[in-house]
Amino acid sequence: MTHVLLLGGTTEARALAAVLAAGHRALRVTSSLAGRVAEPRLPAGEVRIGGFGGPEGLAAWLRAERVAAVVDATHPFAAAMSRNAAEAAAATGVPLLALRRPGWAPVPGDRWHRVPSLSSAARLLPSLGRRILLTSGRQGIGAFAHLDGLHFTARSVDPPEPPLPASLDVLLDRGPFTLDGERAVLREHRIDVLVTKDSGGAATAPKLTAARELGLPVVVVDRPPAPPGVPVAETVEAALTWLAGR
């Protein structure tokens, strides 16, 4: 059987796993999840949870499991895993594709402030408002821990760990989110600034519309580029076409 490794637990990764597992009996499909979410949504096919031990460990796994192709469908901000995948693929000669949904684009009425990092977002916030909705993931909340005089409402799937801002409410929730729900969050918590990573996709996009309706500034953290030399597909269909060519 031809063995395909899918990296990541994104919506696109699960959709790709479902198509491959259902329609290609000659394929062995393994999805690898980082294990950072306590109760992840499991994709079709085989699933492994946890790291590989850096690029060397991943390269050894690719050889041992006779992997024919790798699709890096990790979160657009999982830069370390993407680098490891690129190095392991180069070391083993296994073809590698990055599956990245397109980022968001502003529309008329948006008040976006693009920044290159969470630390840049933290430096900008005091000039924009006092009540902040953080939707940038629990692992990034520490970048705002030093800010006094601001109140944060942080939304994440699992509880965040220290360091944390002194004034903080935590909303435990998982997308997809609705526009009415996002309107309610912004109003109930009296939010005047939204912070988000440019994750793209429809599941978490309603917050951008709700912020636009209320005229709120949005701090958007730009995503890192894919590793150099790695081809990129923006859709599951394009990834299937690439796999068919392998």
pLDDT of residue 139 exceeding 80: yes
Measured distance CA(91)–CA(89) in Å, rounded? 5
pLDDT of residue 162 exceeding 90: yes
Specify the range with the lowest mean pLDDT, choosing from 28-42, 102-116, 177-191, 198-212.
Answer: 28-42
Reported confidence tier of residue 36, pLDDT bands at 50, 70, 90: confident
Specify the range with the lowest mean pLDDT, choosing from 1-10, 34-43, 173-182, 224-233.
Answer: 34-43
Kindly give the interhelix angle for 54-64 and 79-92, rounded to the nearest 10 degrees.
50
pLDDT of residue 24 exceeding 90: no
Specify the range with the lowest mean pLDDT, choosing from 54-58, 94-98, 167-171, 201-205.
Answer: 201-205
Reported confidence tier of residue 141, pLDDT bands at 50, 70, 90: very high
Q: Which residues make beta-bridge pairs with 222?
A: none
Q: Tell me if the domain spanning 2-102+224-245 has CATH number 1.20.1250.20.
A: no
pLDDT of residue 25 exceeding 80: no
| Sheet of strand 193-197: strand arrangement | 111-115, 217-221, 193-197, 131-135, 151-156, 168-172
pLDDT of residue 193 exceeding 90: yes
Q: Which residues make beta-bridge pairs with 168?
A: 152
Average pLDDT over residues 180-190: 98
Residue 151: predicted pLDDT: 98
Q: How is domain 111-221 classified at the CATH fold level?
A: Rossmann fold (3.40.50)
Reported confidence tier of residue 122, pLDDT bands at 50, 70, 90: very high
Token pair, residue 175, equals 């997308």
Residue 146: predicted pLDDT: 97
* Contact (Cβ atoms closer than 8 angstroms) between residue 219 and residue 195: yes
Residue 1: predicted pLDDT: 82
For CATH 3.40.50.720, list the domain ranges present in the chain: 2-102+224-245, 111-221
Residue 26: predicted pLDDT: 83
* Conformation bin of residue 175: beta by default, left when phi > 0, alpha when psi is -120 to 50: beta
* Contact (Cβ atoms closer than 8 angstroms) between residue 154 and residue 160: yes
Q: Helices then strands (H, E): number in the chain?
A: 7, 12
